[in-house]
Chains A and B, each alone.
Chain A
Amino acid sequence: MNIAAPTNIIDLGMLADEARRQRHGTRTTFVRVADVASTPGAALAWSPAAGELRIVGTPSSRSAAVERVREVAAGARGVPVSAFSLADLEQLAARESATLRSILEELRAAGLDLVAEAPFDQLRDPRGSIEEVNISGLALARLTIHQLPSAEVPSLLKEVADLQRRVAVVRAFAPLPRVLNSALPTTGYDDVKRVALARLIVENVPSIQVDWARYGPKLAQVALTVGADDVDGVSAEDETTEGRRRAPLEEIRRNIRAAGQEPVERNGRFEPLVR
């Protein structure tokens, strides 16, 4: 496929959907996430429905990161704990004159299961750092794109595929940018093309992921029809003021089914959950 050529967006989406179906059939996974602040001593409260406890924010120091992971893991009751951006951990290691591996091993010993994200376009050493995650006994929850102009997407996707050929441990790739520019948001066409091209080019990563909270139900649902097979960032709250039918769990299931697919809830380790 000539990925640089302009392509009818529906034809492109159909190609990506076919690739996704060959790998996953109609199965679409989703994870309910409870975000937890990274400051040690901050409140520890989350919904029991969470399939992943995610410590969000930049760690102020190695000791603060370890302490916070220990606090959250102590109350996790088997729910996988993810934390931090791998790029932030690279910087922390440089700042504290430590090796990345030593920090990762200490976090793992404190109870961490997964590094929450690895922003490909922000990592100093994508291959080396992701390998350190693996060697230290942790998993990477997702490879992400922090912020990138659309014109550069095809070449970047090829680089992501090349990276995976070398490291082979990336389970999920979220191709839509994490940083949203409210003054110049990406368009629907932009997003659909990115997701579809990601599925077609990064064929060696099992899951193409879309973030429910960040992109909203409408775009995220469309993404499921053009190559995405996994939904991240579904709220773990069970009830809303509008009633149970409007709660996140019912909403995500309804949207996946309305896209012609079968919802399967998973945890942060990609293990199916039966509730």
Chain B
Amino acid sequence: MTIDRIADRVRAAERLNAADALDLYRRAPTALLGQLADIVRARKHPDPVVTYIIDRNVNYTNVCVAKCNFCAFYRPVGSPEGYVLGFDELFRKIDETIAVGGVQLLLQGGHNPDLPLTWYEDLFRAIKERYPSFKLHALSPPEVIHLSRLSQLPVPAVIDRLIAAGLDSIPGGGAEILVDRVRALLHCDGKATANEWLGVMRDAHRAGLRTTATMMYGTVETDEERLEHLLRLRALQDETGGFTAFITWSYQPDHTELAGHEATGIEYLRTLAVARIVLDNFDNVQASWVTQGGKVGQLSLAYGANDMGSVMIEENVVRAAGASYCMDEVEIVRNIEDAGFLAKRRDMQYRILGDPMFREREVPRMLELATARADGDHSTPAELRLYPARSGAGKKMRAGEILPS
């Protein structure tokens, strides 16, 4: 089929099959992809509104046994650079988030064998007790699988316990590319196969949670495999309708074992646009300014995105791999309005919360994203001793044989 014919199908709101989507991705001019993606965006969002959320992106631990070769953030068990945030540190971060109008934590971390399910439950309950209306968008599917394995409970049971403790929604991290050939090459099939990742999302949706979906591209996958990823998400969304949004970003190679180079800005805009076109059953597509920078992040709004993502406040994972962009609420709103849209705050479910917070009250400017901890702070939270460790290093630490640095 010609590109013009495929483009006509998109304009007519017809669903694309894999072959047509691949043709479009490979051969359509970038500007045409932008035009088509913009048509789909406008169809779903006739009002010229672009949303964003004020939340904080917190990584509660960097200790991880998964050892994905594209990750620059994790530290192995026993590493002196490993950390676990204490409950009080997390409360302080929530206080800071609320102070700038934030409504939730995006809480993700490494697969730390020394944090049992009860640690998460106690944390979630403690947060909800202190901050009843504050939302927990927490634990990506591989983390849920990790907890399932640690606790020897089925995934639905883990999800039920986490919901009972206060979990509100699940972020779509850890999807990378949902093709097992790719996952094997990235050493991330052990943390979750494609089916396992999708299975957690299916279970979460069945349990009444809404979740997001993501795609990290630009490592070892083919164009066909990127499309396969999108089509698998589309199929699950047909089945459950539980995804609120899709977010894609390019692999960040600095300081990773896999190394290589980052996909270009044009590749990002093309991938974003094709995702918007193929994922015809997703309402929301986010711009990834944190990996692409503010300029390409803003241009994403012309290539199908209807959401500028999160103010973030804090970021650790992407920064570890070499990208360190920052946009506070003022800057996000300036970019949205400069592109000709109305800026509105939202929650995780994409319900509009209001106009920009900084126009309602004074909010401190934030010119640099915070980190999980100050450099050199490897202290161990006191409450960790209340939880059984599984690793040898963790057991020694909790027995006091290794003093916290």
Q: Do A and B bind each other?
A: yes
User: With A and B bound together, what is the CA distance between A260 and B294 in angstroms?
Assistant: 23
User: With A and B bound together, what is the CA distance between A221 and B293 in angstroms?
Assistant: 13
Segment at the A interface, from B31-39, B164-172, B174-182, B377-385: B31-39
User: With A and B bound together, what is the CA distance between A242 and B38 in angstroms?
Assistant: 37
**Beta-carbon contacts under 8 Å, A1-57 to B:** 6, 8-11, 13-14, 17
Assess the B34–A188 pair: CB atoms within 8 A.
no
Assess the A255–B302 pair: CB atoms within 8 A.
no
* Interface residue from A9, A14, A246 paired with B261 (Cβ < 8 Å): A246
Contacts of B298 in A (CB 8 A): 187-189
- Chain A's interface size range is 20 to 34
Assess the A185–B261 pair: CB atoms within 8 A.
no
User: With A and B bound together, what is the CA distance between A193 and B34 in angstroms?
Assistant: 16
* Interface residue from B260, B264, B292, B339 paired with A259 (Cβ < 8 Å): B264
Assess the B261–A245 pair: CB atoms within 8 A.
yes
Segment at the B interface, from A91-99, A108-116, A211-219: A211-219
**Beta-carbon contacts under 8 Å, A185-230 to B:** 185-192, 216-219, 221-222, 225
Q: Is B334 an interface residue (CB 8 A)?
A: yes
Query: Would you give the shortest CB distance from B368 to chain A, in whole angstroms?
Result: 12
Q: Is A273 an interface residue (CB 8 A)?
A: no
Q: Is A254 an interface residue (CB 8 A)?
A: yes
A218-B264 contact, Cβ under 8 Å, with A17-B31, A243-B259? yes
* Interface residue from B38, B261, B299 paired with A222 (Cβ < 8 Å): B299
Quick one: closest B residue to A187, CB to CB?
B338
A242-B259 contact, Cβ under 8 Å, with A219-B265, A221-B264? yes
Assess the B31–A222 pair: CB atoms within 8 A.
no
Assess the A254–B266 pair: CB atoms within 8 A.
no
Assess the A187–B264 pair: CB atoms within 8 A.
no
Contacts of A6 in B (CB 8 A): 340
A-B contact pairs, 29 of them (CB 8 A): A9-B339, A10-B35, A14-B31, A185-B294, A185-B295, A187-B295, A187-B338, A188-B294, A188-B299, A188-B335, A189-B299, A190-B338, A216-B293, A218-B295, A219-B295, A219-B296, A222-B266, A222-B296, A225-B30, A225-B31, A242-B253, A242-B259, A243-B259, A245-B260, A251-B261, A258-B267, A259-B30, A259-B264, A260-B30
Across the A-B interface, give the 6 residue pairs with the lowest CB-CB distance, nearest first. A218-B265, A188-B295, A188-B298, A188-B299, A258-B264, A10-B34
Besides A187-B335, A259-B266, A260-B29, 19 more A-B contacts (Cβ < 8 Å) are A9-B299, A10-B35, A187-B294, A187-B334, A188-B296, A189-B302, A190-B338, A191-B295, A217-B265, A218-B296, A222-B265, A222-B269, A222-B296, A245-B260, A245-B261, A250-B261, A251-B261, A255-B266, A259-B30
